[in-house]
Chains A and B, each alone.
Chain A
Amino acid sequence: DAGITQSPRHKVTETGTPVTLRCHQTENHRYMYWYRQDPGHGLRLIHYSYGVKDTDKGEVSDGYSVSRSKTEDFLLTLESATSSQTSVYFCAIRAPLDTQYFGPGTRLTVL
């Protein structure tokens, strides 16, 4: 698992509340990613980071923000959660040859 953990693993929240998901890695990889996975879709990139304080948007970034103040932590924030953000969120790091290692996922339900 390349030393990747995500917290929380499960969360239920209400529409309009802020939510922060955390990804932590222990192997000092430069690139980190946040994806969401929904039935019928491949994993879709939300945001990624290429270093401390260096982040960029992915294909489905609306409604999400990220921060990376330390190499090992990459935070994903939903400023005001909506039901369309109910999903499974995966964090990943990039290893050589573009191989990615994924965390265990966070299942988020927005009621």
Chain B
Amino acid sequence: KNQVEQSPQSLIILEGKNCTLQCNYTVSPFSNLRWYKQDTGRGPVSLTIMTFSENTKSNGRYTATLDADTKQSSLHITASQLSDSASYICVVSGGETSYDKVIFGPGTSLSVIP
């Protein structure tokens, strides 16, 4: 079954610290992997997208990595800010049928505290 798992479920860090969020997937065939940020009460917003041949992609203080062999991705946030408090969702495109082409992970809830 095509699945996307994320860890940890939630995380609290001090402002200015770094953190890393994990994503494991079993989606096959694989097309691409994206990380989204979802602020409370809003829709998800895309941070990065990576295809099979890419191992890293940066967007400001956000850096995503992809290991297609182990089917793992991580999102590293550098020098966290209070505005980074949000849910971070890993999304994998692929799969055998038309509607399971986009599979969402459950998200990691990040809280950045002063």
A residues with CB within 8 A of B? 1, 4, 40-45, 48, 56-59, 90, 92, 97-105
Q: Which residue of B lies closest to A50 (CB)?
A: B98
Contact between A99 and B34, CB atoms less than 8 A apart: yes
A-B contact count (CB 8 A): 51
Is A42 touching B31 in the complex (CB atoms < 8 A)?
no
A23 to B100, CA, bound (A): 21
B49 touching A97, Cβ below 8 Å = yes
Which of B49, B101, B106 touches A41 (beta carbons < 8 Å)?
B106
Report the minimum CB–CB distance from B8 to chain A (whole Å).
Answer: 14
Of B4, B41, B46, B93, the contact of A42 (CB 8 Å cutoff): B4
A105-B4 in contact (CB<8A):
no
A contacts with B: majority SS: mixed
- Structural contact, B98 and A99, CB atoms closer than 8 A: no
Q: How far is the CB of B91 from chain A (nearest CB, A)?
A: 8
Q: Are A105 and B99 in contact (CB under 8 A)?
A: no
Choose among A40, A41, A42, A99 the residue with the greatest number of B CB atoms under 10 Å from its CB. Answer: A42
| B106 contacts A42, C-beta separation under 8 Å | yes
Q: Which of A45, A92, A100, A103 has the most CB of B within 10 A?
A: A100
